[in-house]
Amino acid sequence: MDNELYIQEVVQIALETINNWRVVTASSGAEGLLKAEKERPDAILLDMMMPDMDGATTFQKLQANPVTQTIPVLLLTAKIQTADQKRYQAMGVHSTIAKPFDPLQLPTQIADVLGWQL
């Protein structure tokens, strides 16, 4: 099974099962851009490793679109060194979540970062 697809499924199951959140998934940056504009989600969990367009490029395109630029974006990444964190913050990323992550803690991590009540 493709690692990215597996991560996508784990995230979706965790968020839908634990917190009953509605999750819309996309398998590429281009698909994510279209769905973000159409669905206007409350937040976007964006993996840095995606086919066709990486997370940084996808994020820049989200920021360039007036319809999606105010949606908070959290990056899911294995690169969590201080230099990487600073680069992501400079880009305007709301927060990062380190891979590997604990699926059972993911909803709490997201809610804490965004100031949402669970």
* Segment 12-36, tens digit of pLDDT: 999 999 999 999 999 899 999 999 9
Count structural domains, the chain.
1
Pick the closest to residue 5 from 23, 24, 31, 27 (CA basis). 27
Assigned domain for 103 exists: yes
Rounded mean pLDDT of the chain? Answer: 89
- The CATH number for 57's domain is 3.40.50.2300
pLDDT at 1 over 60: no
pLDDT at 117 over 60: yes
Question: Which DSSP helix (H) or strand (E) runs through 91?
Answer: helix 82-91
* Residue 2 confidence class, pLDDT cut points 50, 70, 90: very low
Domain that holds residue 100: 3-107
CA–CA gap between residue 86 and residue 83 (Å, rounded): 5
Q: How far does CA 115 lie from the centroid of its chain?
A: 16
Helix ranges, 42-81 (H): 55-64
